[in-house]
Amino acid sequence: MIRSLLAVGALVCGIGAVLAQSDPIATRKATMKKVGEANAEVTKINKGEAPFDLVKVQAALTAMQGAAKAMPALFPDNSKTGGDTAALPKVWETKADFDARWEKLGKEAAVAAAAIKDEATFKVAYADMGKNCGGCHESYRKKQQ
Amino acid sequence: MRRFLLFCVLFAAAAAAEFWWLSAPAPVFAANSDAMERGGDASRGKLIFDAGGCASCHAAPGQEDRLALGGGYELKTAFGSFFAPNISSHPDDGIGRWTAADLVNAMQAGVSPSGEHYFPAFPYTTYAHAKPDDIRDLMFYLRTLAPVPGKSKPHTLGFPFNVRRGVGMWKLANFDKAPITADPAQTPEWNRGRYLADALGHCAECHSGRDFMGGIVSKFRYAGGADPEGKDWVPNITQHKDGLLAWSLKDISWTLKTGETPDGDSVGGEMNKVVKNMAQLPDADRDAIAVYIKSLPGLDGPPKPPKK
């Protein structure tokens, strides 16, 4: 039983990895969706619509770090168009800057994750995380539809 | 036959005279109107600057300082490319020699100090609704900002759009100069929000559908539309299911302050610049804008082009 579960698990992981390679657009969209969903919970806390929740905050920072690691590799040259992508050509024109911004986000999210223990530290350490989102979306993503 | 030709010539001349007369630029104030210079307040002008979103187009691209108003930002449109001019306090390359009346004429009549029409890429169609005193305060604020040397590029427009007199005809059809008067049936907060959005923030200039001549179609006002370049889509922000129906007041004011949308995403493209301006305003002003935007009746936007 355990063996077959492991086999299924390995298969699923394998399919995931293959999908990531064969369809980078779908993968990066799914990755960003995860970040958005996790960050939406934190936005509610920031707006005073939900109580502080350390688990939710850490989940958002984890999602950001995961995206920061995975995303730069998900923009191969053959993924500039198609799949309803919102990525602008500028991603490939200034790929070094694009990648550097991901690295910055990853680092800042890691620092914040280590620093945030409670609501007080959250308010200080999370305050500027959102600027990373806008900074990149301004240059590299089409307007929201 | 000769008589017919003569008629044609006379008719053409009359039409040309008519065009010349109808399309004449009409400033609001004489440039040397001293009264406009009295009582200006630069700190109040800063709020007008931020609410009016001047930096979005006039801050020089490729650098971080939104108060370096050297211009040069390219607004690509179906009519050609507009390049935002230098509005820094530089005496030769910017507007350092302008009087407050010059700025009122520019922003509220769309007429330059030399008496030419400005193209409506410059949203004087919105600023015309502002209080002239607010524009005067803005002039006082602009004078406190650093001069930036270097003229911006000239616009590259195709014929006939490059004929500035043609803008005079456009204004006849599309330019409503009426000031916004307070609606007593609404709260002071709503009226403040309306003033900030419709006389300064010029939200509707991007968030509306336009006709082939670039005029806002009233049934699509605030209902979104193609962006000026015609490539992307600016969202519907009326109370429509495809607009901001599901957004709370707090969602709107928070997005204006931080750029973060309720779904955990962030705003895209030019809206990031708008947020940088809006973030400078006091909370009460962003809340007022939210109250006004939340009051916009839901409208169906113009049809979107099919997705590729």
pLDDT of residue B126: 97
What per-residue string of b and e applies to A64-101 under the rule 16 or more CB within 10 Å gives b?
A: bbbbbeebbebbeeebeeeeebbbbeebeeeeeebbeb
Of A10-19, A25-34, B41-50, B108-117, the least confident: A10-19
B287 — contact with chain A (CB < 8 Å)? Answer: no
pLDDT higher than 60, residue A3: no
Tell me which chain A residues have a C-beta less than 8 angstroms from the C-beta of B237.
none
Of A81, A84, A143, the CB nearest to B269: A143
Name which of A68, A69, A72 is nearest A129 in CA terms.
Answer: A68
Tell me which chain A residues have a C-beta less than 8 angstroms from the C-beta of B254.
43, 46-47
Tell me which chain B residues have a C-beta less than 8 angstroms from the C-beta of A130.
258-260, 266
pLDDT of residue B31: 66
A21: confidence class by pLDDT, cuts 50, 70, 90: low
Give percent of chain A above pLDDT 70: 83
pLDDT higher than 90, residue A17: no
DSSP E strands in A1-145: the ranges are none
Spatial strand order in the sheet of B156-157 = B74-77, B80-83, B156-157
Q: Tell me how far apart the alpha carbons of residues B181 and B179 are, in angstroms, rounded to a whole number.
A: 6
Tell me which chain B residues have a C-beta less than 8 angstroms from the C-beta of A85.
none
A50 — contact with chain B (CB < 8 Å)? Answer: no
Query: Which whole-number Å values give the CA distances from B197 to A37, A113, A114, B12, B269, in the listed order?
Result: 30, 38, 41, 43, 19
Whether residue A30 lies inside any domain: the answer is yes
State the ipTM, two decimals.
0.77
pLDDT, tens digit, 9 for 90 and up, residues A67-120 = 999 999 999 999 998 888 989 999 999 999 999 999 999 999 999 999 999 999
Whether residue A10 lies inside any domain: the answer is no
Whether residue A125 lies inside any domain: the answer is yes
Whether residue A32 lies inside any domain: the answer is yes
A29 — contact with chain B (CB < 8 Å)? Answer: no
Q: Which residues on neighbouring strands pair with residue B111, listed in sequence order?
A: B117
Residue scoring higher pLDDT (B202 or A2): B202
B249 — contact with chain A (CB < 8 Å)? Answer: no
pLDDT higher than 60, residue A6: no
pLDDT higher than 80, residue A24: yes
Q: Give the domain range for residue A133.
A: 24-140
Whether residue A17 lies inside any domain: the answer is no
Q: Tell me how far apart the alpha carbons of residues B168 and B26 are, in angstroms, rounded to a whole number.
A: 9
pLDDT of residue B1: 65
pLDDT of residue A144: 60
In chain A, the residue whose alpha carbon lies closest to the alpha carbon of B301 is: A145
Whether residue A38 lies inside any domain: the answer is yes
Whether residue A31 lies inside any domain: the answer is yes
Q: Which residues on neighbouring strands pair with residue B145, listed in sequence order?
A: none
Q: Which amino acid is at B273?
A: K
Query: Which residues of chain B carry a pLDDT beneath 50?
Result: 308
- Which CATH number is A132's domain given? 1.20.120.10
Cβ <8 Å between A137 and B307: no
Q: Tell me how far apart the alpha carbons of residues A134 and B274 are, in angstroms, rounded to a whole number.
A: 11
Task: Tell how many helices (H) and how many strands (E) occur in chain A.
Answer: 7, 0
Of A8-17, A31-40, A100-109, B273-282, the least confident: A8-17
Tell me which chain B residues have a C-beta less than 8 angstroms from the C-beta of A25.
none
Smallest CA–CA separation between B139 and chain A, in Å? 29
Whether residue A80 lies inside any domain: the answer is yes
Contacts of B85 (CB under 8 A, 6+ apart): B58, B71, B151, B152
Q: Tell me how far apart the alpha carbons of residues B219 and B9 are, in angstroms, rounded to a whole number.
A: 41
A37 — contact with chain B (CB < 8 Å)? Answer: yes
- Which of A33, A37, A43 would you mutate first to test chain B, the one with the most B CBs within 10 A? A43
B304 — contact with chain A (CB < 8 Å)? Answer: yes
Cβ <8 Å between A130 and B254: no
Could you give the number of structural domains in chain A? Answer: 1
